[in-house]
Structure 1
């Protein structure tokens, strides 16, 4: 990706502008397919519960003790 950058805005705060070196442009034809391929490969490696629907993923873990809290 050439000539693309990103910033993060939260309220009245703004991060520095950073060049985007890789990724899939928003609105591209392949974007949704590449996202699903990527995210489906990530989930099995996670050590927590997950729920996925379309482009949403939720991660959670029940905390039973201090070790679980530290892991989170």
Structure 2
């Protein structure tokens, strides 16, 4: 009985961690996407401002930047 309670608690923690990671990713993606959209009107390359954003397309570069940024959070 106690083992079932421990397993249930671990599953809840994993689920909460997954939700937290997704929320952080979405927030970081929005921030990086707004930065990259803003810098599209500037004559400079925005990908040098964000770590890990070496992609040519805006969405792929933003995703790479977010993953690069999130690696610093661990």
Q: Give yes or no for TM over 0.5.
A: no
- TM-score by structure 2 length? 0.29
Structure with the bigger percentage of strand: 1
Structure with the bigger percentage of helix: 2
Taking CA–CA contacts closer than 8 Å with sequence separation of 6 or more, which of the two structures ends up with the larger relative contact order?
2
- TM-score by structure 1 length? 0.29
